Structures are given as structure tokens and as C-alpha cells.
Amino acid sequence: MSKIDDTFEMLDNTPEGPKKSIILLILIGLLVVGGMSALALKQMADKPTALPTMGESVNKETPSSPDTAATGDSSAVNESPAVTPPLLTPIETVINFGEASATLRPDQLAKLETFYQEIKDTPGTLHISGYTDDVGPDDGMALSIQRAKAVAESLIVLQNDPEVELVVEGFGDDSPVGDNSTALGRQQNRRVELKFYTPESGL
């Protein structure tokens, strides 16, 4: 015999007053159990059924700034500061001269033409600096200026170019690049240095 049959048999043998109390208690118990079951089911339904797996992202709406929302321009978010390009080295060459001379030799004129082809049609500043060896009664200042001017005059096209500035200077026997006690060193010092600076290369 089941527990339910035992319960009803017990109810049949119970007087009328207590029988009603027992039935009432049973109903209350059923209501309590049913309510708890319903609450548990509701809590389970409120929980997420699955967690996001690796690789999945949980999308959360992020507030946008008023300017971005108003214009709808996405570039405002990705805008990065301007990057300054690295300074480039100037274009350079060296023209050499004979002893106590400011005359350009044919091989040096050809070298000067090659240099001009590199810088033509380019805005910038050309520094023409003349030097001498230390042979002679003075420091060679006048001769160094004559050499620098000779080179500048051979670049007459650049003299008439409004986008190119020429700076012509003489430094005498200052800043030797070779040893003045040797013939080779003195030959290296009898020179004109040309340095062309574009706006990107700086000074």
C-alpha cells in the first residue's frame, strides 16, 4: 500500500474536526512546495544559458562623444598626430683647384655639371665655401673667395632661380681636410665645398 493510500485511510478513520485540519495542512504544504519550485525555475531562467567561449567578444555599447555623434565622422576617433619626417642629409660635392689658381679645370667643370643635374628644379639653399692650403704669404682668404665666386658664376642658371638661395663664402686656410705638409694634403685643401639644403633636409 502506498503512502498516499495510508494517508487517505488514516483520514477515513479520523474524526471530522481533525480531518479538516490535516487536509488544510496538506494543502498548505503543497502550496509551499509548489511556490518554492516555481521560484527555483524562475531563477534558473534568469541565468545566462551559456558563457561566451574564447574568441567571442561581449559587445557593450560605448557612449560616443557629442562631436562624433553629431557629425558621424569616424575619422575623429582614429585621428593620429602628424609625424615629422626625418631630416635628410644635404647634397654635397667638392671642386678642387690647382696651386694659387681660381680657374676651374675641365674635369672639375664636368663634376660641377653632374652636381647641378642632381639639384636642378629643386628649391633650397646652396652653400658655396672656398678654401686654400697654407702655402703663401697670407692666409689665402682672398683666393678662397675667388674660388667660391668662380664656382657660383659657373652655376649662372641657379643665380637666376628665385627658388634657390646662393650663399658664397671664403674661409682661407681654415678647416683643412688634408695634411698641409704633404703635396696630396695641400691638393685636398685647395677646394670649394658645395652643400645644397632642401627645406626637408634643414640647415
Domain residues of the chain, as ranges?
3-46, 91-197
Contacts of 101 (CB under 8 A, 6+ apart): 190
Distance CA 111, CA 127 (A): 16
pTM: 0.57
Indicate the CATH number for domain 91-197: 3.30.1330.60
Using the CB atoms, write b or e for 135-157: b if 16+ within 10 Å.
Answer: eeeeebeebbbbbbbbbbebbee
Q: How far is 111 from 188, CA to CA, in rounded Å?
A: 15
Per-residue pLDDT of the chain (203 residues; tens, 9 = 90+): 555 555 555 555 555 666 667 777 777 777 766 667 666 666 666 655 555 454 454 454 445 555 544 455 544 455 666 655 555 689 999 999 999 999 999 999 999 999 999 999 999 999 999 999 999 888 899 999 999 999 999 998 888 899 999 999 999 999 999 999 999 999 999 999 999 999 877 66
